[in-house]
Amino acid sequence: MVRLVTNFIGGVRPWWLVAAGFAGYVLLFGSYTSMTYLAFHTNTFDLGIFTQIFDSMTQHGTQNTTIERNRALPHFAIHISPALYLLAPLYWLFPTPLTLLLSQTVLLASGAFPLYRLASTMLNDEWAGSFFALAYLFSFGIHGANLYDFHEISLAAPFLLWAFYYIESNNNKRLLTLLLLASLMVKEEIPVAVFFVGVYILAVKKRHAQGALVAGLSLLYYWFVSAVAFPYFGGSPMYDRYANLLPNGGGGGVELIQAVLHNPSALWCDLLSNSKLVFLTGFLLCFAFLPLFSIGGLILLVPVLILNVLSSYAYQYMFAMHYAVVSTCLLFYGVLLSVRKFHHKFYRVLSCLVLATSVFIGPQLMGHEKFFLMAREMNNSRPIDEALRMIPEADSVWISNRLGSHSSGRNSAYLFPEPLGDIDHTTWVAVDLRDEDKSRWPAAKEDYYKQIRLLLNDNQYGVYAYLPGVYLLFRRDYPAEANPTVLTDITRLERRE
């Protein structure tokens, strides 16, 4: 079957398939994510946060934000991501959230090229390399990151995959070092992945000096982040996301390692819990379980368990999220390490197997929305866009989740209805009244409407603009004559929901 396919497209060069896959991916996901933004279906967490961060970088050179914790603080107190500055010049030229969404799409899709080079080099088979590259473009770990707003972790995909290629080709150590450094600077958890890549180089490839250097570099960078950078900016690593493994639910990295060593049974019980087992099985199924067939693949599986499966933070082991990007890159590397152990005549068969599982399993696990739905929502959202344009950029605004990602250019935006942290009030309040839970996130329905009623009963805020079932715009020190009528409508709307 594989020979039939390759003979049928015999006039086509393998890299053409990769280029076509890249172009198709960028067109499909670029269009969809743009439509999602224009339809007001993106979120404050996290597109609104990164929009404000990029505004801060291009205007002041800092990564300051108010909307991330509803108070002014540097983003470095939450995540250490200096690699974001690499995209700042592009955002400076095109200061819109669409720049972030489209850049992310291109960056994620571009990972197909180093994976093609990596697989072709390791297997000495360009067709197998092209099939693995296409499998990458269909993998749910990449789709999850692309479909859920913008996240810095997406930058790691091309950096890591190019680094893996230079590890195997062993022909440009300086570039490899730069790629690993760039990967480390994407986010504070990347050193976990890079450390085990170093272990693989040391233990399997027997390049002891290089492996020790890579592992040591990752440990040094993690020490710098956790012991120097975070304390300087008033933050700390998110060890609370592993509270399930800590005896008292708290502690740091040392306490986490000690807890695992002292009570490994707790780790296994947690690993075998239902939701995590489903995630891990589904994830490995997309790779036909091939990473399990080599020592290198098993070593690279360890950071996957640490970064995704062992966390108590449920989003890290959910299919439709962005947290699996790094793990996807590691597992593709692990797949190739295992496939290389088979006879060369099975390379294309196994590459087609991984492609088939990615095509038929990955998108189904994701459950993609329909394009026509976003197109319809784009038309319905035009009044919301017009309402937000009424708010001067210099004014402060308390804004709902779905509207927050449209607050680019605003230095003082806060997430409604979360409490305001460092100010008593904002000049404006923009409330999303569309009937969906994501519009009200992070509040429950009753708490969301309770805050709206408090504003309507507050004579210091008047209804500036209102479209029933769509949006509600308050302005401080604005006449409140319309408030009683709107209050009646809001009560009726809440009961109907």
Q: DSSP for 269-285? A: HHHTSHHHHHHHHHHHH
Q: What mean pLDDT comes out for the span 52-69?
A: 96
Checking DSSP bridges between strand 428-432 and strand 461-467, what pairing results, if any? unpaired
Considering only CA atoms, which of 412, 390, 417 is closest in space to residue 473?
390
Percent of the chain with pLDDT over 90: 76
Question: Residue 409: which pLDDT band, with cuts at 50, 70 and 90?
Answer: confident
Confidence of residue 249 (pLDDT cuts 50, 70, 90): low
Phi-psi map region of 234: left, alpha, beta (phi>0 left; psi -120 to 50 alpha): left
Identify the pLDDT of residue 70: 96
Contact 196, 300 (CB under 8 A): yes
Statement: residue 90 has pLDDT above 90: yes
Q: Which letter, b or e, does each residue of 322-359 get, where b requires 16 or more Cβ atoms within 10 Å of its Cβ?
A: bbbbbbbbbbbbbbbbbbbeeeeeebbebbbbbbebbb
Rounded CA-CA distance 273/458 in Å is: 48
Residue 493: pLDDT band (50, 70, 90) is confident
Estimate the share of the chain in helix, then strand, then coil, as percent rounded to the nearest 5: 65, 5, 30
Nearest to 57 by CA among 18, 24, 84: 84
First-to-last C-alpha distance (Å) of the chain: 54
* Tens-place pLDDT, residues 96-133: 999 999 999 999 999 999 999 999 999 999 999 999 99
Q: Distance between CA 382 and CA 270 in Å, rounded?
A: 47
Least confident stretch, 141-145, 203-207, 256-260, 480-484: 256-260
Helix axes 49-60, 97-110, angle to 10 degrees: 100
Residues in the chain: 497
Mean pLDDT of the region 344-366: 84
Contacts (Cβ under 8 Å, ≥6 apart) of 356:
none
Average pLDDT, the chain: 91
Q: What is the pLDDT of residues 414-451, one digit of tens each?
A: 999 999 988 999 999 999 998 777 888 999 989 999 99
Q: How many CB atoms lie within 10 A of CB 459?
A: 10
| pLDDT surpassing 90 at residue 371 | no
Among the residue ranges 235-249, 321-335, 387-401, 462-476, the one predicted with the least confidence is 235-249
Q: Is 358 helix (H, G, I), strand (E, B) or coil?
A: helix
- At a CB cut-off of 8 Å and minimum separation 6, what does 39 contact? 374, 375, 377, 378, 380, 381
Residue 344: which residues within 8 A CB-CB, separation 6 or more?
123, 124, 125
**Which pLDDT value is given to residue 495?**
79
Above 70 in pLDDT, residue 392?
yes
345 pLDDT higher than 60? yes
In this predicted structure, the answer to whether residue 369 has a pLDDT above a threshold of 80 is no
What is the amino acid identity at position 57?
Answer: M
Non-local CB neighbours of 63 within 8 Å, separated by 6+ positions: 53, 56, 57, 74, 75, 76, 81, 84
In tens, the pLDDT along 136-152 reads 999 989 999 999 999 99
Q: Are strands 64-65 and 461-467 parallel, antiparallel or unpaired?
A: unpaired
pLDDT at 3 over 70: no
User: Would you say residue 19 has pLDDT above 70?
Assistant: yes
* Half-sphere exposure at residue 216, Cβ-oriented, CA atoms within 13 angstroms: 7
pLDDT of residue 9: 57
Domain boundaries, the chain: 2-238+272-366, 381-496
Task: Please compute the mean of the pLDDT values over residues 314-329 and round it to a whole number.
Answer: 93
Q: What is the pLDDT of residue 456?
A: 95
pLDDT tops 70 at residue 483: yes
- The 10s digit of each residue's pLDDT in 25-43 is 999 999 999 999 999 999 9
CA distances from 491 to 109, 220, 256, 476 (A): 47, 57, 49, 22
Token reading at 354? 């991984």
